[in-house]
Structure 1
Amino acid sequence: MPDAMADSWFLDSVPCGIVACDNRGRVVRANAFFRTLCGVSADQPLQSFHHYLTRPSRVILNAQVLPLLQRAGQVREATLDVQGTGGPVPVLLNGDCDGAGGYVFSLFPAADRRQHERELLLARKELNQSRDYLELAEKLASVGHWHNELATGRTFWSPEIFRIAGLDPESPAPLMSDVASLYHEDDRRMVSSVMETAIRTGEAFSFASRIVRPGSGEVRHVECSGICETDVHGTVIGLFGVFRDNTDAVQFQADLAASESRYRLLADHSNDIITIFDVAGTISYMSPAISKILGYDPDDMIGRHVRDVVHPDDFASVQAAYRGYIAGRQWDDAPRIRYRALHKDGHYIWAEANPTVILGDDHRVAAIQDVVRDISRQKATEDALARASVEANAAADAKAQFLATMSHELRTPLTSIIGFSGLLRDLLSGQDDLRRHALRIQTAGQVLLGLINDILDHSKLEAGQLELDLAPASVAEVVAETVDLLQMQADAKGLYIDIQGVDDLPSPVLIDDGRLRQILLNLIGNAVKFTVSGGVTVTAAYLPGGAGRLKFSVRDTGPGISEAGQKALFQRFSQVDLDTHDGSGGTGLGLSICRQLVELMHGTIGVTSQPGEGAEFWFDLALPDAATEAAGAADHQPGRLLVVDDQDAVADLLVTLLRRHGHVVDVARNGYDAVEACRRSVYDLILMDINMPVMDGFTASRAIRDSSPLNRDVPILALTAAGGSARQQACLASGMNALLLKPVNPATLSDAVALWLSSAPREAGTAAAMAGRTSAHLERDEFAHSARDAQSPLNAQSNEGTRT
């Protein structure tokens, strides 16, 4: 191709306008792009360069472009408008002097240039973004990439490799010859060998090694993989690869291996069987302990089913327990599963399993890890304890039944002894000798009653069955009533009993007044018993800052108690011999029971004494105020009463005591006779014994409530030698209203009858007057406990010779 034609072809292929002008500004040559831009055909002659510009652009050309060309020899990116076929076309003009006074211009359409620049900027932005994403991805994966030119030894590192190596990313990458120094000295020979082989063969390579970070000396575990870069002849000219920081994974594997080793060691040396089986029950691991416990070889158990070692009678419950554990998903609360496990020699032992679930990748239960322990000895001990418990409960029941029977059999005759001796004493006015004999009989009966009460209370306290019956009560009244019971004994010895402070106490307080009376009777009774001259002072006052704690004190002028004697006072079956004139003893339970009662009421009890200076017994209790309705004075109007008791002596005593208050009294010898009497006559109140032949008191009370139109609502008071909440509940359940404990104190009997006769408006002899009597305030049912303890604590009255 001729040179002219070659030049023309080259200029026409350039994507911009090319124009050559002489020194007068005439266009001597223009390429095809320029002609197309300005609308000049190939056969049209070319004119001056000014001709192809708009008028404003001509001014710019003459004023700015040409002077700059003449002065500097070139101009770059001048903005002009060319007269195109469709109107002005903005162009960017570059100009150079041709050395002969002419010029060469290149014209780029501005729109194309701006589009190109925008595309270039967008490409650069995308490239930078890709680099950022690559850098972020490498950082997240702890993976960097590198490139090495073998000819120059120059190395390129991505920022992540700098971080892995512990170097500043802004610092230059080391030469390949210097990279070797980063590797652990024990790994350098291996790394060098791998790289030399790759360069020689051109094959891909990979290795794991350690690097040592400069400065800190920290060792990092890394993995390197790479490929070789070759020229057209297949000669390796460079290396490209990735570098991964694998330290965390290596450490995890090391920790896991150590953990597995420890657990394997524990499993191999554990006294318990450790096993793993899938949800179908197929065993995949068994620890060596099975040899010692069940006699099997651990390897022989692999692949067997767990049912092979479970007693057939236990397998269903064991399977249900495991299934329930898995289905319940309460995996932190694993059950303890007990079953009989089969020993290799054919006998069974008791085992206890404690399972733990093993979850798969899908978070479903993949297997069960079980720890199985031999509990044969424990099970034998538990069985023995269970048998002993049954035997102990049976013995306790027998003891309770015996005590209840003895209580009934002893209290019933005591009712006659104490009651009739009291009547005799009252009837023998003016006959001092006979009155004294009657008093001795009554006192002896009360002493015997005290012994019985001590034994029963001790048994209840020992069994944890003694319950408090809290109700509103007046402390002043309880103290006064207690002193009244002992005043006759004090008078007989010429002693005073002085009460101080009780009138200033608030009333009422919430307390078991019967138990308070029992404690006071014991302490005051002992004081009267051991005091020869002088007397006894009883005080009650709130402790300063005691948050409602009331302190009771019983101080006497007796012989006092030694320090050694004081230590034994509140122990069971202990008696302190004070060398008194009588020398009669007691159970040795009185003060022990007092201590337990005080502690049951969250109080404390103690004694202060010196030999020859008397003694002061004290106790304090928390007694909160209690609001209660003021009970009106008991109505002592006479009424028609029915006494039901199979013991003639008891019935006669009750009739005598009741008739003294003007009551009309009928007697029935058993429950059947009582029911028949209630069908014939209307009664204002019934006193009902419990244990009777033919028909007992419970059955009779229910029959009266169910089938006696005349007495369906009459108050029925139980007479029983057995107390306690269970007996009280049984009485109430049968239709009775309250409970009186034998032996009945005359004053207690009178007050109880008067209270119930006054509990509702009545007209003697009419059943309608009794309507609503059963629904009277239930507080009166609690009278049973007050009545019980009004006389039961007489255990302390005449046990002269020992403090109990």
Structure 2
Amino acid sequence: MNVEPTTISMSQPLDGLTASELRGLVERYRRIFCGSGYGFWEWDLDTHSIDWSGGFWESIGYDDEDRKRLTDARELPAFIHPDDVEQMFESVREHLRSAEPLYTCYRVMTKDGDYIWTQVRADSIRDETGRAKYLSGVNFDISELKDVEAALRESEARQARIIQASNDGIWEWYADRNAFHFSSRCWEHLGYSQEDDMMVGGEDRMRRWRNHIYPQDLPLFDRALERHLTLQEPFDIEYRVTAKDGEIRWIRARGKASFDFDGKPTRMSGTNMDITHIKRAEERVLRAKVQAEKANSAKSEFLSSMSHELRTPLNAILGYAQLFEFDNNLKDVQKDNIHEIRAAGEHLLKLINDVLDLAKIESGAVKANLQSVLVSRLLEDCATLIRPQADARGLVLRMNFHGLEDVCVEADQVRLKQALLNLMSNAVKYNKVGGQIDVSLHEAPGRQLRVMVSDTGTGIEESRRAEVFQPFNRLHAEMSKIEGSGVGLVITKQLIESMNGQIDFSSEPGQGTRFWIDLRQTERTHVAPPVAEVSSPAGEPVELCVAGAQRVLYIEDNATNIKLLQHFFSRYQNFSLEIAEEPFWGIYRARQMRPDVIILDVNLPGLDGYEVLKVLQNDPATRAIPVIGLSANVMSIDLEKGREAGFYEYLTKPLQVNRLVATLNQLLGGAREQVQA
């Protein structure tokens, strides 16, 4: 006969149950208690005995023999972390005094001697006088929760340290209560300290902050904030504030809002950066630029005015001298004297014309700094800059040095590069789509090196040859979509001639044009071999063997070179690359972020790489940061100068990636001491 098991509800009254049903109920409770991993207990306060149920102690390694000790409340402290014993018993005493439910946490020793966190929830049973007789409760393991809390606290502390080190203030706006939070660093930007009422007062923080915004910048601030919250445009704004002492300071605020499903903002978080010193540096540079422009303008105005003042009386001198020559009454000696006067006047007129032409030349047209320049490397550098433009028009750019890669010329490197870029840029602009550009080197008579740039454009008619080097004459290209001012070739001609060179061209209408530059050769040279080169199979890249998070600051103003290193470092997740396109900003970011290594372009506007390096070396905050130099100057004297200046390594353009990898391995991969040894 099959007997269906009796099902008894745990809320069913026990009265009327049979012995069998009671045993079944007890077994069920035991299974629940033991299978949960919780510790259910009751403490008899009169006998100091504890009755335990559940699997709590078994879950941390104790057996039945160990549990015999746990039935005596006086033995319990031996299982509790020494630092938590007093706190646990104080919680019990407080419960006995107040009759409030007992909630406490403490660490319990496992059988292996480790400790876990347990939470206790308990209440007491009291007699008619209110005296507690029994304390009943439950223990359960909360170690994972404590680990999460510890990790969260560490994360918060780490973020606080990062924010504190960055000197940036943080702020947050809460839409549900229209409240703002500003960190103390925000108020420190205004000159307030922790003791100031501004830091501890309870007024509307946003209202106080807005009172410090420069009146003329307040509409700009509100407009940027509104467009971010309504149109979700980026919130990145620079504005002025009035500090506590009345000083005008600059703040750069960046933030991002969170939106609900209806597109309404719920919260906005952001940072404030004090950029006063950057703005002041910009103002100094701007003032210097304005002063230089004023000085140059004053020079031109002076020369123009002086030429006018001199030409006016000279006109009379030469005019009357010519009239005397028509007078037949003059003696021969008088005619000779008049002739000398006229010759001297015409010579003076020529000098005045030269001065007037000088007044039209921009301040950059100073005497060329002639030195030995490796033309092949300069052409490769120019090709790197021009190639994206050529690719955009489907042009093929070919380089052929005809074995003259190591020939140097006497030139000003900056001026020659500008001239070559002008010619190569014209070859792109005036070429036909899908055409070809050839850049080549040739021997020319008189120990000259000829640089030739050929295109496959529409060409120039021979009848218009004289117009090619005329200022603002674009040979009717102004009627096309090709951009230009018409002075590029004029400037190029002046640059080449200032270096004692010559420029000329030949062209076939419909076939293309060939421009060439002739410059005097100097010695032949060789690019210095890589230092501490890491060998690898031909055509295979050197492996970057650097562990751990690495921060790299790249100070460079050339967009093509920036893209190259961005693509390179994007392959390595442990490397973060920050770009500074201006030397002053690079120095500021080096002080602020303290990178592991700095890659510094030597030819920078404003401050060159050597000047930037000197600033970094003289600053205690940055002098220990290794700096890798990067330059198109590849002569032996340039390499030696770079190492003597203090660069950790001096790399040349076009950049050889394997050399960069080898340098980073030496610097960041643990091989630095070996290399220096």
Same fold (TM over 0.5): no
Give the greater-gyration-radius structure (CA).
1
TM-score calculated relative to the size of structure 1: 0.35
Relative contact order higher in (CA < 8 Å, ≥ 6 apart): 1
TM-score calculated relative to the size of structure 2: 0.40
